[in-house]
Amino acid sequence: MITAGIDIGSITSKAVLMKDMKVLGFDVISTGYNSEKSGKEVLNLVLDKCFVNIEETDSIISTGYGRNRLSFAHKKITEITCHAAGAHFQDNKIRSVIDIGGQDSKVIILDENGSVTDFAMNDKCAAGTGRFLEVMARALELDLNDFGDISAKAKKAAHISSLCTVFAESEIISLISAGEKRENIIRGIHESIGTRVGALALRAGLRSPVMMTGGVSRNSGVVRSLESRLGVSINVSSYAQVNGALGAACLGFR
Amino acid sequence: MSEKVKSMAGKNLSKLMIKGYMDLHEKAAKGAFCVWIAINVPAEIFAGFDNVVYGVPESHAAMCAGKGIGVLQCEKAENTGYSQDLCSYARIDIGNLTDGSKDSPSFGLPKPDLVVSNNNNCALISKWFDVHHREMDIPHFIMDIPFCYEPQKQKDQSYIISQIKDLISLIEKLSGQKFNFNKFEEAVFHSWEGFCEWKNFLELAKEKPSPVTAFDSFVHMAPFLTLRGTPVLKEHFKILADEARQNIKTGNLPVKKEKYRLFWDNIAPWHQLGKMSKRLSQMGANIVGASYTSCMGTVEGSFELYKWDEKDPFEYIARMMNSYMCPHGMELRYSSMKGAIEKLGIDGVIFASNRSCKPYSITQMDQQKRISDYFGIPAVMIDVDHADARKYSEENAFMRIGALLETIDSKRKN
Ligand code: SF4
């Protein structure tokens, strides 16, 4: 049996192809303004890569903010359920998923079957999301990919009191002009996200073992900050960015 | 989900509301003494006077939001310096007055001679009515109603009654009219009968599938606010209940394939009723009950009808000043909701965290946890605002609601 999971996020679209519960391949493209088009495109890319015809797929499941826009999907499932299923597939002992994506962050608690028992999400605000990090990287004129390594050199975390992205950006500009070391500033930024998402995790009732997914999980600084704040060790998913699509593909087998 | 082809009760409601607003304007234009009140001020006392009418700014604001002009009215207030963080009802009302109610579906409310607020729903409302007091140079009577963490105490009830009597004396003095106890008592009786019939209607939500959806109940509450103390309450809610009974027989149900029975906690999202009910219905979900509609006619800690012994009308209306959610502490809210969840066979709860009504939202995070732990049913929190559509994101809300339904499904499977 072959299934495809497609996750249409606000910034990127991802597709995962599976055969008999084994990953055949995946791909990521940017979403653009037409969800249906990018959904088809990313699916075709992964089908071509894996030498599979669309007719051979038994089930196509869509998820993410654009899930309802894919007319060719057989079923639409929210990313909450899909992220839980994706994490469960990778390691069935996982009981919590911390997902930080471009526009939202969520903490999902799951049971031994990979079903969701509870979840909490950030409200309508960019604090504690990938977008927050992007804005800060721009203010510091740095590549976001270097944040993790640079922050590891910090001797202390600069204090960033504001949770609001816009206010935090001006705080950072003041810190730069006050001569604060940039590694300390970056550590401070990571602590700020850790505080915000950590509170979400506690609210949802975090249980170990914990897996982190979403683009931000590739930032080791944020992972370290969350680990120290929550007192747990965090597994970073090897399918970090495509975990939602992976879960969708897994749910196609049910 | 609700009334694509307008139901009999729906038609009756439109008729009542139009007539209510027209009568109000007409009587005020002919010289009636006009009072603006906060929703839980006991309006029955006005029936004790020959020529006193009343308007309810909160109800008018809800209507503006329901008709899609909430944001327009809010912006008018914001343009004069009011913060976006203030209650959207207050912003709509204040905004509406900046240009002589030119956009209001009811031509606003007639100019008041007196405003009456209370402080147990929230502190903001007294400040809001103070704006009218200053702008229009009219008296403002504030009822000081104790917040309740337990059933109303005797001394609190006496304190409330003494203020109701003070208010009556003030109206006598300002309007030059004499208060008639018998007419007042009759009005209280009409409200009591209205509450009884309302409860008969809400009880039908126990049926599976339910002929009742909160989206209808939200809208049909309006006469409780604007036509208090009149016989039309009983008549209207009887039409509503009879029609719901008939709908059970004919299968004309709000959600035909009712798969999920949900409970809603907070004020209705007036600007979203149509869209939200349609989308939920397509998902097989029916919000069969809501704390906002269930609390009418009940008191602290239970959504069961508070049975009046039909003796002292002052005691009854003083008790009814606690007939809302906001004046209740966490234990009372929890115990009311617990009873309703058991009774209605609820599968999941939507806690609508309201951006500009914090008094309603303040305990929700703890309630969510307690309800989920006690019943083992899932509950979600979504962000809404009762009257400001800018503070609501449909996709955000529906992603959470979708996940709630999926969690219910997976619990059923396991
Ligand atoms: S209780 Fe809520 S809706 Fe009512 S006036 Fe206060 S803030 Fe506004």
* CATH code, domain with B285: 3.40.50.11900
Give how far A105 is from chain B: nearest CA, Å. Answer: 12
Q: What's the pLDDT score for residue A74?
A: 95
Nearest C-alpha in B relative to A114: B410
Verify that B408 and B302 share a domain, yes or no: yes
Q: What's the pLDDT score for residue B5?
A: 67
Place of tokens 């969708």: A248
Per-domain residue ranges for chain A? 1-91+241-254, 93-236
Task: Write out pLDDT tens, residues A19-57.
Answer: 999 999 999 999 888 889 999 999 999 999 999 999 999
How many structural domains are present in chain B? 2
Taking the Cβ of residue B372 and every Cβ of chain A, the question of whether any pair is shorter than 8 Å is answered with yes
Count the neighbouring beta carbons within 10 Å of the beta carbon of residue B294: 27
Last residue of a domain, one of B162, B182, B202: B182
For B77, the domain range is: 8-182
Burial of B171 (0-12, 13-18, 19+ CB in 10 A): buried
Verify that B110 and B223 share a domain, yes or no: no
Q: Radius of gyration (Cα) for chain A, nearest Å?
A: 19
Q: Mean pLDDT lowest for which of A160-169, A228-237, B163-172, B363-372?
A: A160-169
Write the CATH number of the domain with boundaries A1-91+241-254: 3.30.420.40
Q: What's the pLDDT score for residue B3?
A: 43
Verify that B104 and B234 share a domain, yes or no: no
Verify that B163 and B206 share a domain, yes or no: no
CB-based contacts of B257: which residues, under 8 Å, 6+ apart?
B209, B284
Task: Write out pLDDT tens, residues A58-93.
Answer: 999 999 989 999 999 999 999 999 999 999 999 999
- Phi, psi values for residue A17, rounded to 5°: -110, 135
Verify that B159 and B104 share a domain, yes or no: yes
Q: The tokens of B242 are what?
A: 């009879």
Verify that B157 and B301 share a domain, yes or no: no
Residue B241 domain flag: yes
User: Do residue A79 and residue B399 have CB atoms under 8 angstroms apart?
Assistant: yes
Q: The tokens of A14 are what?
A: 């991802």
Would you put residue A20 in left (φ > 0), alpha (ψ -120 to 50) or beta?
A: left
**Measured distance CA(A226)–CA(A151) in Å, rounded:** 14
Q: Give the type of residue at B351.
A: F
Verify that B255 and B292 share a domain, yes or no: yes
**pLDDT: is A167 or B339 the higher one?**
B339
From the list A65, A117, A123, the residue facing B383 with the nearest CB is A123
**Measured distance CA(A185)–CA(A136) in Å, rounded:** 10
Verify that B320 and B380 share a domain, yes or no: yes
SS (H, E, C) B195-216: HHHHHHHHHHHHCCCCCCCHHH
Q: What's the pLDDT score for residue A83?
A: 96
Verify that B192 and B215 share a domain, yes or no: yes
From the list B396, B403, B411, the residue facing A124 with the nearest CB is B396
User: Do residue B410 and residue A78 have CB atoms under 8 angstroms apart?
Assistant: no
Place of tokens 């732990």: B373
**Mean local confidence (pLDDT), A185-207:** 91
Task: Write out pLDDT tens, residues A178-188.
Answer: 888 989 999 99
**pLDDT: is A214 or B138 the higher one?**
B138
Kindly report the CA angle at B296 between B294 and B297, in degrees rounded to 5? 120
Q: Do domains A1-91+241-254 and A93-236 have the same CATH topology?
A: yes
- The span from the first CA to the last CA of chain B, in angstroms, equals 30
Nearest C-alpha in B relative to A113: B414
**Measured distance CA(A140)–CA(A225) in Å, rounded:** 20
From the list B365, B400, B406, the residue facing A203 with the nearest CB is B365
Q: What's the pLDDT score for residue A166?
A: 77
Verify that B247 and B357 share a domain, yes or no: yes
Q: The tokens of B400 are what?
A: 């959470």
**Measured distance CA(B181)–CA(B192) in Å, rounded:** 16
Give how far B361 is from chain A: nearest CA, Å. Answer: 14
**Measured distance CA(A222)–CA(A203) in Å, rounded:** 19
Q: Which CATH architecture has domain A93-236?
A: 2-Layer Sandwich (3.30)
Its ipTM equals 0.81
Residue B2 domain flag: no
Q: Give the type of residue at B185.
A: E
User: Do residue A77 and residue B406 have CB atoms under 8 angstroms apart?
Assistant: yes
Confidence category of residue A133, pLDDT binned at 50, 70, 90: confident
Local structure of residue B137 (DSSP, 8 states): T
Q: Look at the alpha carbons of B259, B344, B299, B371 in this order and tell me if their dihedral is positive or negative.
A: negative
Closest Cα to atom 5, ligand 1: which residue? B125
Q: Which residues of chain B have pLDDT under 70?
A: 1-5
What's the pTM?
0.90
Q: Which long-range contacts does B338-341 make (Cβ < 8 Å, 24+ apart)?
A: B338/B371, B338/B374, B339/B302, B339/B303, B339/B304, B340/B263, B340/B289, B340/B291, B340/B294, B340/B303, B341/B263, B341/B371, B341/B375, B341/B377
Q: The tokens of B112 are what?
A: 């008041």
Residues with CB under 6 Å of ligand 1 are B 87, 89, 121-122, 124-125, 267, 326, 357, 359-360, 386
Residue B50 domain flag: yes
Cis peptide before B209 (omega within 30 of 0): yes
Residue B140 domain flag: yes
Verify that B119 and B234 share a domain, yes or no: no
Residue B3 domain flag: no
Verify that B225 and B350 share a domain, yes or no: yes
Closest Cα to atom 2, ligand 1: which residue? B357
Count the neighbouring beta carbons within 10 Å of the beta carbon of residue B3: 16
Decide: A61 and A75 in contact? Cβ < 8 Å. yes
Q: Mean pLDDT lowest for which of A35-49, A169-183, A231-245?
A: A169-183
